[in-house]
Structure 1
Amino acid sequence: MVYLPTILFSMGEGAVLPLIPVIAANMGADVAAAALVASALVVGQLCGNLPAGWAVARIGERFTMVIAGVISMIAVAGMAFAPVIAVFAASVFLLGFCAAAFGLARHAFMTTRVPLAFRARALSLLGGSFRLGVFVGPFVTAGLLLLFGTEQAAIWFFMACLVVMVVLVLFGPDPEKTHAPLPSSSPLVEDSGEAVSGSIPTVERVGIFRTMWRFRGVLGRLGLAAASLSAVRSARQVVLPLWGVSLGLDAQTIALVVGVSGAIDFALFYASGQVMDRFGRLWAAMPAMVLMGAGFLVLSLTHDGEAAVLWFGMLAAVLGVGNGLSSGILLTLGADVAPKQDPAPFLGSWRTLTDAGGAAAPLIVSGVTAIASLSVAAALMGAVGLLGALGFIRWIPRFSPRQGPPA
């Protein structure tokens, strides 16, 4: 009930993602417009985090997921029946908005209910569930295209995933009831059976913007380091295909290199949680950032060399290792520093900041490539990665992850 709805949602989303620019092009969009439509998903997710934090704090994780699932069905229907490109783009934006609500609901649930002793492993599994869906989804799309010969089949597959997910969340056992929130570290008032005079302590619910202001320190320091990690991750997905194109490789070779990098990334998602729980958050965050930062910097120096293709394959694998080691880090760090009794508003702010880093990276790569070159863009993202590593060294909270009961 915790991981299966996540897999269903991300599998349907992963099946549709590769087809968004294709469908937009079929509706008459040029390359730039098709890229803009595809980016509407990221923009929608960025815009949806703060409202999602408000919704989870007010109505709970379960009903937020149900509402997000129902609205996602409307968005998917809009994608299937869109008469013009504007309606299709609006549907993609709405889908990203709902994806933010779905992801934050699960993040808040795990934050309040998973003990510290194995929090990183649990959240790495949550991140791995998203990665599994995005990894498997394109293969499902390929099979559906082969079977039905139309992109609409993948859209209706997403609709089926959403229906099953909503039914599962709505009528299945409610994890919010079967798993009580962990006790807060703050002193609790015990029931002694005596009459109580004066006011009864209650949990203060703080709004989104007050939460952002109250935690501006951690958001402005650790949050920026986390945003740099999100930016480097996102840049990897853009730079590697473009690098293959700039080397003159065919689509099959590029897909193979990117696929191997993605497979390495997916294979390491649980190892990241093990490292964070056993040795501390820094020992996963810092190697991941150093590997990806150094990988981009070295890649930027190899474009015109004799072994450029070999370097491309090797460094794509290095970036995959770095990205795999970072699985679950953003979720775990957000859970670590969030207020324990009402984490949703803070997590909405945290995820907005990290998603902003991921959304900005492709724009930075595109702009720097247009002004200078792809090599300069890769070097810039490498510098961002190394600066982010320094930020993690300075600002990651120091505590023993072995507190609490053993896993």
Structure 2
Amino acid sequence: MTTSGPAVEFRIRSVAASALLPALLFAIGEGAIIPIIPAIASNLGATLAVAGFIAGMTMIGELIGDIPSGWVVSRIGERRSMIWAAGLSIVSVILSLVAPNALVFGVGIFLLGLSAAIFALARHAFMTTYVPVQFRARALSTLGGTFRAGWFIGPFLGAGLIALTGTSMSVFWVMGLCAVAIIVLLLVVDDPTEKLAAGKLAAGKLARADAGEPSHPAPTAGESELAEEAQGLFATIWSFRAVLTRLGLGVAIVSALRASRTVVLPLWAVSLGLPESNTALIIGLGAALDFALFYSSGQIMDRFGRLWSALPSMIGMGVCLVILSFTHDFAQAVGWFIVLTVLLGVSNGVSSGIVMTLGADLAPKSSPAPFLGAFRFTSDLGSAAAPVLISAIVVVAGLPVAVFAIGAIGFAGAGVMLRYVPRYVPRSPAHKSLGFKPGA
């Protein structure tokens, strides 16, 4: 990925070691752990409902982490934030490994979600800082692909470790080793943003000296974006309440459906009595198809429009979850579980990147960061709500009813998307990427 223009040249490999590889390692660690969380919680004495809630602590941690992460990254910088986030994930691993009960284990999983929120924003800001605007979409798409690749690799590594060691707790070693590797990598590899900032600083000083102005270091693009995003999250939500309560609701349901997969599938496996290693393999198979479709999803959105990515995905996931809810007591329940897990992966893969793409379409071009922060918070709110809702329904009516309810919500979300995507993101290229004014 290069350009030979007079002022700009960029190669994607220039951020491979400093952004893409750390992102891949973090995703591998998460991918190894998340499919096994309900099984470990059950082994520590948690009921099925509590195990589901603990599995959702990663999403709750990410939601809460969204609030201070912009402030943190804007204060200490992108690379340091990724290092500290990796360090926090090591703390979560240690706490989870020594947890004497489900409560302490849940705290460890919450810290993992918190570290993921900081790490995600830091790597996003890193790419914003370093990647030229004309290459940013492709670079961020590649970043999203590395995340899905990690979720594909992680479950298989976890399954192999469980088979090798005989203990499900061994999956945390994957996260621990990946976090250590991230820290070492970021400490050893040169930070390209430092050279970029130094060049901008020198040029800025020279220009201000020529103009007779005082010398002040200019913020990088990522620092400026983070500084904006860290201010007034709830004020921004209020300003854009119209689009966030309409199309934002649809995006929140998309995120809720995706989050429900990480809770429902491991819980279903526990209820069927599947060994942890088999659970990881089955979920990894679904993640493999999810990963394989991430580029095709972008092609669908660019060629046919955003709706033709979102609508089939939500209907597909809704159908799969509703069917799954009726199969628990079937003689071939495990076979149904495998098939529907794979189809859920395909359905989710069709909408890969839809949340980031809609956010970019809707964000005001003059100052996108505050809106993107509010949009991501709305999305993460759906992710965090899903495990809480699932656990509550499991307590009252059982797991199959909870799965059916989430599937039905998927159909409602498809209706929301059908109503509001054409309104806010028109199909015509002439109307794309215009952004929306507050209150629109």
- TM class by shorter chain equals 0.7 to 0.9
Answer yes or no: is 1:394 the counterpart of 2:433: no
Letter in 2 for 1:396: V
Contact 1:292/1:382 (CA < 8 Å) preserved in 2?
no
Answer yes or no: is 1:81 the counterpart of 2:81: no
Answer yes or no: is 1:350 the counterpart of 2:375: yes
- Higher RCO (CA-CA < 8 Å; seq separation 6+): 1
Normalised to the residue count of structure 2, the TM-score between the two structures is 0.72
- 2:232 corresponds in structure 1 to 210
Deviation sequence 1:192-243 (CA, Å, 0-9, x none)? 933359x999969447452441463154454333223212323455567788
Q: Mean alpha-carbon deviation: is it higher for 161-170 or for 346-355?
A: 346-355
Provide structure 1 residue ranges, at least 5 long, that are not aligned to the other structure.
Answer: 184-189
Give the one of 91, 113, 116 matched to 1:96. 113
How many residue pairs end up in the alignment?
389
Contact 2:56/2:387 (CA < 8 Å) preserved in 1?
no
Instruction: Output the CA distance in 2 between the equivalents of 1:137 and 1:302.
Output: 24
Q: CA deviation at 1:163?
A: 0.7
- 2:291 corresponds in structure 1 to 266
- 2:60 corresponds in structure 1 to 43
Bigger share in helix: 2
Answer yes or no: is 1:195 the counterpart of 2:216: no
Instruction: Output the CA distance in 1 between the equivalents of 2:43 and 2:36.
Output: 10
Q: CA deviation at 1:392?
A: 2.4
Answer yes or no: is 1:30 the counterpart of 2:59: no
1:270-309 aligned within 5 A: 270-276=295-301, 278-279=302-303, 283=305, 285-296=306-317, 298=319, 300=322
Instruction: Output the CA distance in 1 between the equivalents of 2:313 and 2:151.
Output: 21
Sequence identity (%) = 42
Query: How well do the aligned residues superpose, as a CA RMSD in angstroms?
Result: 4.3
Deviation sequence 1:48-90 (CA, Å, 0-9, x none)? 1111111122222111111111122112111122234332221
1:49-128 aligned within 5 A: 49-115=66-132, 117-128=134-145
Residue 88 and residue 375 in structure 1: after superposition, are their counterparts in 2 closer, same or farther (change >3 A)?
Answer: closer
Answer yes or no: is 1:20 the counterpart of 2:45: no
Instruction: Output the CA distance in 2 between the equivalents of 1:151 and 1:301.
Output: 29
Instruction: Output the CA distance in 1 between the equivalents of 2:341 and 2:34.
Output: 22
Contact 1:56/1:344 (CA < 8 Å) preserved in 2?
no
Deviation sequence 1:15-41 (CA, Å, 0-9, x none)? 122332233223232323322222222
Deviation sequence 1:285-318 (CA, Å, 0-9, x none)? 3122211233356554898799x99999887666
Give SS of 1:90's match. helix
Contact 1:65/1:105 (CA < 8 Å) preserved in 2?
yes
Provide structure 2 residue ranges, at least 5 long, that are not aligned to the other structure.
Answer: 1-17, 201-206, 434-440
Residue 235 and residue 44 in structure 1: after superposition, are their counterparts in 2 closer, same or farther (change >3 A)?
Answer: closer
Instruction: Output the CA distance in 1 between the equivalents of 2:48 and 2:414.
Output: 29
Normalised to the residue count of structure 1, the TM-score between the two structures is 0.77
Contact 1:293/1:383 (CA < 8 Å) preserved in 2?
no
